[in-house]
Structure 1
């Protein structure tokens, strides 16, 4: 029997451990055992948008990756897994892959387009979901993988990629005419990836301001990711005449309203990325300033792959990632948890907002 965690699709606070027997594999399927995965605020966004929310341009949501309709949700997580049984040509027991898995001890994937670099899950319900989530990469084929960075991959890789893509969009859009970029929930790992990526640009570039709670200001400023770090209650001290842009990492309505109200027409762009503050009052009706726009990393990735080609896109990511890995160990410590109960507790801790932003939670099933 293997454990998994079922989550109520309508109430993400309702999660429970279940046991399941291993079903026989169909031709083309592989069974993997999860070696490790990360639990981050990003996963809470997956839960909040588990049901169809228009993100994918169809009637699917994040629950559709690993659960059939009508069944409890299985939360997607990023991690490493080892093949234990294979019915797919070109994949053998012992092969290891980095990718997107359910929050469970094991998973069954349907392997298509198998090659030296990895494979794509072609389970029918997944073929209409963003390709970036369906590709599984052989560890040996990851050109920017270093063993010393192993635990940082699931913790930071998808979040850094999102931050890097947001920074790329800002540069592509001429920074929307902003002289300063305000990043809310600046201690989040996606925000750190964005701040780091923006700061790599040569001058002149916009000033990068991290917004965080008063208790976090000093520690976050010491990381030197942002040009300046201020608390949410200091937003009103900023010059309202400065052309600005907001990137909201957590969907906190009170912060969004404060920034929009303060800058008004001088707020040139307002981008919402995540919804880790899932229980915060949205409070976005009648906001002054620009209409908020959502950022969807898979869509931006597909655009840049089309613009640059897959190889060039991968090379740019690899260079940026290795630069970030040189500083990541001082930005977050790895907090390892083992077993089923620890996995459930890690989810509930992240959902409640109690998780330490300076820790990278790694679950070892």
Structure 2
């Protein structure tokens, strides 16, 4: 075996502990490929992956009846966690017919310079990873798409794909769920952590709806109000401190992108029974008050993008689902460059620093961090 780049190991019980380690290039088994990561994004969504790295009831049991978490994508039980990231990679070694050295794929990779994937169902459009521990995990995470086969890929948007694509898709799916469920009877939708990229995807998607729709109100810190309002994503932007100025009699819904218990409690307490839905999406505020005490108003419900995707694929068919996503994505890409500036980081030390910066909340919400290993 020889040295092969680097990887970042994370303590499963304490996500603040992360170590840069040397990779090892073991010989490939038949059916495997080795890829080098060309670039990947570091966003608040990755912190949610770390928080829910250990089994958290999201994915159901594996074939042995054990519940699964995000660490199960790229690390065996008992090993340090490998954080999943979205990005592009190039095949550097292949033991698979139909996947050649030099082929490039968009997909889900470990936070590392290189990775080994087990290929199943290889075709012109890409392949599915069939590593045994991944076969019971949501398919959306296990599909690798050949860049040339992406109908809505444009070279000018390359850096925005890992930064926005999975988060925009989540926001779009939340907007779709609201419309599908009659907006839960809400006249306004409060979106907490409104500067996050998932929230921006949600706000943008709701704004594209034809006909009557609820008003969108972005909730953010006081320092971010003016700059976020200038982006024109939401109908209104207010500070968390000003939640109590909203009319408590207005039927409302809350979408919580960050899992900040204090904000959730303020909204629930203010609107009470006029809060028609309370949806939690992420947990980037991993160290904030979890707010586990009973709350006035509706029971909080989690949103799980892979589940919603699978429902819509069943409703519409895969081709129609893909076409709807492509149309929405290209519309968003027309405005994304004015919303976010790409912040490139290069090398292993920069990758580790980017993780710690995101974990500590030291990043600019208007920046999209792209790591080039």
CA distance in structure 1 between the aligned counterparts of 2:372 and 2:291, rounded to whole angstroms: 38
2:138 equivalent to 1:130? yes
Other-structure match for 2:266:
258
From 272, 280, 287, the counterpart of 1:272: 280
Other-structure match for 1:320:
328
The C-alpha deviation readout for 1:108-133, integer Å capped at 9, x for no partner, is 00000001100000000000000000
2:16 equivalent to 1:8? no
CA distance in structure 2 between the aligned counterparts of 1:210 and 1:250, rounded to whole angstroms: 13
Other-structure match for 1:72:
80
Indicate the SS of the match to 2:25. coil
CA distance in structure 1 between the aligned counterparts of 2:290 and 2:19, rounded to whole angstroms: 28
CA distance in structure 2 between the aligned counterparts of 1:130 and 1:96, rounded to whole angstroms: 22
2:168 equivalent to 1:165? no
**200-209 or 108-117: bigger deviation:** 200-209
Report matched runs for 1:42-81 at 5 Å: 42-58=45-61, 59-81=67-89
2:182 equivalent to 1:174? yes
The C-alpha deviation readout for 1:153-180, integer Å capped at 9, x for no partner, is 0000000000000000000000000000
2:188 equivalent to 1:185? no
Other-structure match for 1:23:
26
Other-structure match for 1:287:
295
Unaligned runs of 5+ in 1: none
Other-structure match for 1:119:
127
CA distance in structure 2 between the aligned counterparts of 1:263 and 1:202, rounded to whole angstroms: 27
Shift of 1:204: 1.2
Equivalenced residues, count: 365
Shift of 1:286: 1.4
The C-alpha deviation readout for 1:57-106, integer Å capped at 9, x for no partner, is 22000000000000000000000000000001100000000000000000
Unaligned runs of 5+ in 2: 62-66
Indicate the SS of the match to 1:21. strand
Shift of 1:203: 2.9
Report matched runs for 1:185-264 at 5 Å: 185-264=193-272
CA distance in structure 2 between the aligned counterparts of 1:65 and 1:179, rounded to whole angstroms: 40
- TM-score (norm. length: structure 2): 0.97
From 346, 354, 357, the counterpart of 2:365: 357
Other-structure match for 2:105:
97
The C-alpha deviation readout for 1:174-208, integer Å capped at 9, x for no partner, is 00000000000000000000000000012311000
CA distance in structure 2 between the aligned counterparts of 1:268 and 1:65, rounded to whole angstroms: 35
Indicate the SS of the match to 1:261. helix
- Give structure 1 regions of 4+ aligned residues with deviation exceeding 3 angstroms: none
CA distance in structure 1 between the aligned counterparts of 2:193 and 2:281, rounded to whole angstroms: 11
CA distance in structure 1 between the aligned counterparts of 2:24 and 2:115, rounded to whole angstroms: 12
CA distance in structure 1 between the aligned counterparts of 2:23 and 2:272, rounded to whole angstroms: 54
Instruction: Give the superposed CA RMSD.
Output: 0.5
CA distance in structure 2 between the aligned counterparts of 1:102 and 1:258, rounded to whole angstroms: 37
Other-structure match for 2:96:
88
CA distance in structure 2 between the aligned counterparts of 1:281 and 1:105, rounded to whole angstroms: 35
Contact 1:257 1:284 in 2 (8 A): no
